[in-house]
Amino acid sequence: MPASEETGSGPVVHDHRRIDPVTGQVRGRHAASKPAGTKGAGRPGPGSPGPGAGAGSGPGDDQPADKNEERDAAETAQQKEESPEEAPEMVTGQVIKDGKQAASVEAQLAERTADLQRLQAEYANYRKRVDRDRAAVREQAAATTLNGLLPVLDAIDQAREHGELSGGFKSVADSLQAALTRLGLVAYGEKGDAFDPKIHEALTHSYSSDVTEDTCVEILQPGYKVGDRILRPARVAVAEPATGPDGSSNEPEWPASEEGN
């Protein structure tokens, strides 16, 4: 608030406001302390002499108003230069605050990215597991159905061997076997195949000089499989080589029967 003091010629009002209420400009440090009735401190107060009036007017009172404003602007700029530490402190604080916020945002981004990658990997594993389980269920269902039709296929094979597969019955048998083949059923077992206990079931055993390894010399019942699943092993007659690699006989020697006295 403006302060007033009593003098011999009347009250003198000192206006300490930094903003000129008339022009709206920032006053200088010296202009703010001038009495309200002097030039450079705003509009002259009531009872104050005008420009150039009075014998006690100093040489500075005859300066135009624009020169006073320029002086005030220069003094304001000088005051800003005298206290340059305020702006760096504000900028430094803002930089520190922005740096902490950037670090926090980067940490949150890394965490969200890791969560997304982990979720994506879990979903990929889930899809693989579901596809694998679906294929296993489908194969199990097909194997169960085809396993029940194996006796029918054995009857068709026996009828074909005896020449009884002809006419309409032959067309039905061929259509059935084609449909089962499309479902993945595969028959295996051929005469001359090497004997494999994993896929063959030996029903008879003999020795032969015509083979060099254990060989299926006769297919008694074909085997069936779906993919890698064995529905039924092939039932075969196996022949073993009569002599070993060293030329010795593989056939067992039976002891001669003793005649009674």
Tell me the CATH number at 210: 2.30.22.10
Min mean pLDDT across 40-49, 71-80, 168-177, 197-206 is at: 40-49
Inside any domain, residue 147: no
- Given this model, what pLDDT does residue 19 score? 78
Q: CB neighbours (10 Å) of residue 234?
A: 24
Inside any domain, residue 94: no
- Given this model, what pLDDT does residue 211 score? 86
> Would you give the DSSP letter of residue 95?
H
pLDDT range class, residue 167, cuts 50, 70, 90 = confident
Inside any domain, residue 242: yes
Do residues 239 and 208 touch, judged by C-beta distance below 8 A?
A: yes
**Taking CA 112 as the corner, what is the angle to CA 108 and CA 116, rounded to the nearest 5 degrees?**
170
Inside any domain, residue 170: no
Q: pLDDT tens digits, residue range 92-141?
A: 556 666 778 888 888 899 999 999 999 999 999 999 999 999 988 888 88
Closest-CA residue to 4 (of 40, 51, 37):
37
Average pLDDT along the chain: 75
**Averaged pLDDT, 223-248:** 85
Inside any domain, residue 235: yes
Q: Which residues contact 243 (CB under 8 A, 6 or more apart)?
A: 209, 249, 250
Range of the domain at 206: 186-251
What proportion of the chain, given as a percentage, has pLDDT over 90? Answer: 27
pLDDT range class, residue 66, cuts 50, 70, 90 = low
Whether residue 238 is predicted with pLDDT greater than 90 in this model: the reply is yes
- Given this model, what pLDDT does residue 102 score? 84
Number of domains in the chain: 2
Inside any domain, residue 63: yes
Closest-CA residue to 202 (of 245, 234, 156, 243):
234
Q: CB neighbours (10 Å) of residue 258?
A: 6
| pTM summary value | 0.48
**Averaged pLDDT, 9-36:** 66
Q: Report the C-alpha gap between 83 and 104 in whole angstroms.
A: 34
Q: pLDDT tens digits, residue range 143-157?
A: 888 888 999 999 998
